[in-house]
A and B are shown apart, each in its own frame.
Chain A
Amino acid sequence: MKWQIIFSVSVFVLAMSCQKMEPAGPGEDQTLDGPVAGLTAAQKQQFLRGDAAFNGEIFTKETGLGPLFVATSCGSCHAGDGKGHPFTTLTRFGQTDSTGNHFLQQGAPQLQDRAIPGHEPEQVPTGAAFAKFTPPANTGMGFLDAVSDADIIAMADPNDADGDGISGVVNWTPLKPYLTPREGSIKNGGRHIGRFGKKAGAYDLLQQTAGAYNQDMGITSSYEPYDTYSGAEIDPEVTNQTLLDVVFYLKTLKAPVQRNATDKDVVKGKELFMQINCGKCHVPILKTAYSTITALSNVTFYPYTDLLLHDMGDGLNDGYTEGNAKPAEWRTPALWGLGLSKQSQGGSYYLLHDGRARSIEAAILLHGGEALQSKDSYKVLQSGDKELLIKFLESL
């Protein structure tokens, strides 16, 4: 009888305690993955399908990998949807000005530096300018995608009319044949506003995604049907549905949630950030226009970017460029999620376009060109104020 009681009590305790003995998840503000609030059930299902394809599908030779490639899955470059690591930092080469890329016959614009067995990876051709691009975080991109062209143009100041030393220009890019312009899209000389990528060379997330499948993993689609190795048009290796699911996933990933936003040090740090004009390019607040995804429609959000190109000075000029951007011009990266970067970069910071900055302060000090005044202002801050400013950036 004694054993029956012990057994029954044990089973009861086990059943009651099972969930309490499991590890708790990190807080909503500690992770970058997860959907935006307000999706419908059908949209959540598409989000999950996209999540599975983005984070779960690893390509092999059999499923179309390469033969030349940079990574074997989307998730291997964007662990936890965060910033990437030098392991999957990619190299682009061949273009030095707006006359276009003169190394297209030699594999440009992207270097596929890995190859399946039996093939040799590419090398940067002699004499070609190149730059390394560390994978960016994916989060909140649907909000950036839904900002109206008019709002972006309104932030531009190509001739520095206000005399603050900061211009900000749009990268007008040709539209890929498979893309449909957004409602209210503004054209200039037949070109549209690029807003994704380090040089703002991609119009939208469909271009960015189809391009990444093709250039990063050697996976062809009906959108990008040319094999990066042979140059031949081959059968699609990913379906349109999967690719569109991934685009939807990227569009509906939540915006990073700021931590300790009301902490007085963080508040003071933000004041300093604005005071030394960092916020002129890293614009704190943007608003979306109408979106077919209701959850993204007419929303105010806090990305700390203006989606414009800025001259960052000779120190960050690698000689390579895309579209009509100049080699020293880089699209202002969104700062949201900055404080969580180490969680996807293996515990260290790899900041700026190529990961050369190993701390937030190092990244600030590598700013030049239009950001020179802000950098100089930062340098003369009291050490305590510098700490407050960095604390604010880490809270993003």
Chain B
Amino acid sequence: MKKLFLIVTTMFVIGTTTAQIDSTLLRRTAKDTTKTMMNMDAVYNRPFLSFTKIPVALGGYVEANWQHLGTNGITEGHQFQMRRMTLFVSSSLYKNIKFLSEIEFEDGTKEISLEFAAVDMTLHPMFNLRGGVIMNPIGAFNQNHDGPKWEFIDRPVSATQMLPATWSNVGFGVYGKKYSKNWLMAYELYLTNGFDDKIIDNNIGRTNLPAAKQNRERFEESFNGVPLLTAKAAIRNNKIAEIGLSYMGGVYNKFEDDGVKLDKQRRVDVVAIDMNTTIPGSKTAVTAEWAWVHVDVPATYTEQYASKQQGGFIDIVQPVYKKPLFGFDRSVINVACRLEYVDWNLGKFKSTGSDIGDYYAAVVPAISWRPTPQTVIRVNYRYSGTVDVLNNPLIKTAGFQAGFSSYF
């Protein structure tokens, strides 16, 4: 028994010893993630940890926070939340062939999702192939959603609850980018699996594109056999701004099953415009996105499921103190503010001809401290209001949130 114990212990010690990696072999591919080249590059514009002579790089980010919010006098008290931890693995398979995957653990392990797992092959700067689980380039936030890049604890409501960020699907496509002095032009075009009828049949009680994310089968089969088209064109001038225009559309319902026609094809179409800029001189960063959603909802269904939605956000971030602090040489303190709005149901009641309510607005002033560009500690005060479908009195929610987000 003693021998057995010694053998097992020895094997464990040897195994542990040989499993340790000499830290001098690790190489951090540090990047200033607050300065993306273009939104479409966000997926690769992350700090990775690479190993000498091994063509694999690792990375990830983590974010956690505390919050104390109250709604019309009722609060759930102090809440500590582990919003998400994300792991990236990237690899250069061959010259001009690379792979990246992103796995996200949300709310502890309540939700685990593969957000990105695609192989990219560059044939020409203007013609790259991408295939696998991709993030549909609708708006900017969906592709550029890493927590450490933002000064706000909550993700924009328009991007995550009207648009379905983070929205990933299996599919293929092409993208390209062209440079000319200060100008960059880019495009992306993908065909993927798409939405399903949960977008108008869900327990949220309103048209909700993110409800389609409940369908895990979409990584294996299309709900209706019709591909979802996502296309984006963007232009950037390094001294002015980047503007993107994107479209995503397809059929969401099961119009045919086993050769039997069930319904007409019903479409969901989304158009989004996004921009970001840093104002010279003041270095004020402005990021904005606005989107319009149109869904072909049967006329005989309930009006609480909208055929039209719109919403967006604007973030303004002003660096106010850019000096070494607590030993961090590149420390920056920012003040920031987000304004956001979503109209979940743009329409009128058939019964009264009056406007349908169901909208949301928020203002979120914030202070953030970035000891390094890859880490942000942030304090937000969120003040929001919601109006129900009938236009009944505003329900107000407000409170403080504080937390951090950091690449590792």
Contacts and interface: CB of A to CB of B under 8 A. Distances in A.
B301 A116 contact: yes
Given A57-B203, A115-B300, A23 B392 contact: no
Contacts, number: 115
Interface of B: 68-75, 197-198, 200-205, 253, 262-263, 266, 298, 300-304, 325-326, 349, 351-352, 354, 357, 379, 381, 388-393, 396-400, 402
Contacts of B393: 343, 347
B303 A87 contact: yes
B321 to A, nearest CB: 9
Please classify the interface of chain B as helix (H, G, I), strand (E, B), loop, or mixed, using the class held by over half of its residues. Answer: loop
Nearest to B206: A58
Contact of A25 (B72, B197, B204, B303): B72
Contacts of B253: 117
A50 interface: no
A19 B68 contact: yes
A376 B68 CA distance: 56
9 contacts: A21-B381, A22-B70, A24-B73, A25-B74, A71-B302, A76-B389, A343-B392, A346-B390, A346-B391
Contacts of A58: 202-205
A375 interface: no
A115 B302 CA distance: 8
B397 A3 contact: no
A87 B303 CA distance: 8
A101 to B, nearest CB: 24
A63 B399 contact: no
Contacts of B303: 87
B399 A87 contact: no
Given A14-B400, A117-B197, A346-B392, 7 more contacts: A19-B70, A22-B398, A23-B397, A57-B203, A58-B205, A69-B302, A114-B301
B400 A76 contact: no
Contacts of B326: 3
Interface stretch (A78-86, A148-156, A190-198, A240-248): A78-86
A72 B352 CA distance: 20
Contacts of B352: 85-87
Interface residues of A, number: 44
A139 to B, nearest CB: 15
B300 A347 contact: no
Please classify the interface of chain A as helix (H, G, I), strand (E, B), loop, or mixed, using the class held by over half of its residues. Answer: loop
Given A21-B400, A116-B301, A87 B390 contact: yes
A61 B201 contact: yes
A26 to B, nearest CB: 7
Contact of B205 (A19, A21, A62, A73): A73
Interface string A52-77: 00000111111101000101110010
A60 B385 CA distance: 27
Contact of B402 (A14, A59, A114): A14
B158 to A, nearest CB: 22
A120 interface: yes
Contact of A23 (B73, B263, B301): B73
Contacts of A72: 205, 302, 304
B398 A23 contact: yes
B75 A22 contact: yes
Given A25-B73, A80-B392, A87 B351 contact: yes
B351 A86 contact: yes
A317 interface: no
B390 A345 contact: yes
Contacts of B389: 76, 87
A19 B78 CA distance: 10
A315 interface: no
